[in-house]
Chain A
Amino acid sequence: MERSLTLIALFAALIAALGLIPKFTLGFGVPITAQTLGVMLCGTVLGARRGGLAVLLFIALVALGLPLLAGGRGGLGVFATPSTGFLIGWPVGAFVCGLIMERSRRLPVAWAAGIASVLGGIVVIYVFGIAGLMRALDKSALESLGLVTAFIPGDLIKAVLAGLITAGLARARPASLLSRG
């Protein structure tokens, strides 16, 4: 009980802190924000229920007015921008990530976490995000998808990294990998 609560809270804080540390760059010089990587890790490390709750907690604090999103953004205004669908999709994405992780115990951790991150952390979140764009901008699904295709390669890289990092955590702190516990 205590562990579940503190892990949920600390992973929510981890998503926030990932938005605060200096941006890091990938091998070929593309800077990426690590917050969606944090969302994937919530699912792959904490599992469906706890991972989803951790991201939900983070989103709730953003809505209450804390500047926790990358670039110090936050507040209710964030939920009125056209890209808010992505944000609303985060908790669901983390939940699906965790669910796939829990259901694929036969696969090695890195592969399972990578696949879970692609399905939960990209597909699910984009479905929500595109629905949000359609509503806010009066565009069709395909037109909305066209607006965000530029971000898909970066997100695929993040999913691979989420797999590698989860495997690293499974070695470093096996007892805390609740998605496989």
Chain B
Amino acid sequence: MISLTSPVETRAHGWPAGAKLAALCAATVVLFATKALLWHGVFLALTLGLYALPGALFLRTGIVRLRPLWIFAAVILLWHLVTADLRAGLVIVMRMMTAVALANLVTMTTRLSDMMGVVRWLLTPFRAFGLRTDLVELAMALVIRFTPVLADKGRMLALAWRARAVRRLGWRIITPFAVLAIDDAEHVADALRARGGL
């Protein structure tokens, strides 16, 4: 399973994931508490500077991942052009870009296994209330394993549809798709039970 961790190894990959997440929370609080346009310009420049540190490839990947934001930026800037308050619009757009870029930065520099470690640590207190954290981890592993399996089966269904139908792929494909998921779930449940159960 592909993850969004950056292939470029940075120094931040070695830092503890919990610390990076805490820093991200703190940064987001500061972003939402600041109102001045100048500061938001500084924050955005600093964030882009962080992206530039590991090299051009890392910077480019980071900027590509900000692309889905352009539609929000366009709507907000248009809106504030109409209401003649462009300054407020710029603050909103820059704050949004910095917040998303910083969060992406944590994702890009943290391996999935380290993130899972944080989840395990966060869930530990709930063991006292009877939460089986091992089951949460098993469920996560099952999703990661079965997403590509189901996606392949979905592609086969789509091919079968195209081979038989003249019309384009329609919603009716979802029912057999969900049936496949249900059947897989029942088979895996049987397999788990056969191996001693949970």
Contacts and interface: CB of A to CB of B under 8 A. Distances in A.
B171 interface: yes
Interface stretch (A65-73, A94-102, A109-117): A65-73
A142 interface: no
Interface string B170-198: 11011101110111111011101100011
A114 to B, nearest CB: 14
A24 B75 CA distance: 27
B28 interface: yes
Contacts of B24: 76
A37 B174 contact: yes
B181 A2 contact: no
Given A21-B155, A65-B107, A58 B92 contact: no
Nearest to A26: B171
B96 A81 contact: yes
B33 to A, nearest CB: 13
Interface in B12-32: 24, 28
Nearest to B187: A6
Given A14-B178, A165-B175, A80 B103 contact: yes
A121 to B, nearest CB: 14
Contacts of A173: 179, 182-183
Contacts of B42: none
A176 B175 CA distance: 13
Contacts of A92: none
B37 to A, nearest CB: 14
A107 interface: no
B106 interface: yes
B57 interface: no
A171 B110 CA distance: 45
Interface string A1-27: 111011111111110111011101111
Contacts of B170: 24-27
Given A81-B72, A82-B96, A176 B107 contact: no
B100 A10 contact: no
A77 B100 contact: yes
A161 interface: yes
Nearest to B155: A21
Nearest to A76: B103
Interface in A50-91: 57-58, 60-61, 64-68, 71, 73-83
A2 B192 contact: yes
Given A5-B135, A7-B189, A57-B139, 19 more contacts: A5-B192, A9-B188, A13-B181, A16-B147, A17-B154, A21-B158, A26-B171, A37-B174, A45-B182, A58-B143, A65-B112, A74-B107, A75-B103, A76-B103, A76-B104, A76-B106, A77-B101, A80-B28, A165-B178
- The 4 A-B residue pairs whose C-beta atoms are closest, nearest first, are A75-B107, A9-B142, A77-B104, A76-B103
Interface of A: 1-3, 5-14, 16-18, 20-22, 24-27, 34, 37, 41, 45, 57-58, 60-61, 64-68, 71, 73-83, 136-138, 147, 161, 165, 168-169, 172-173, 176
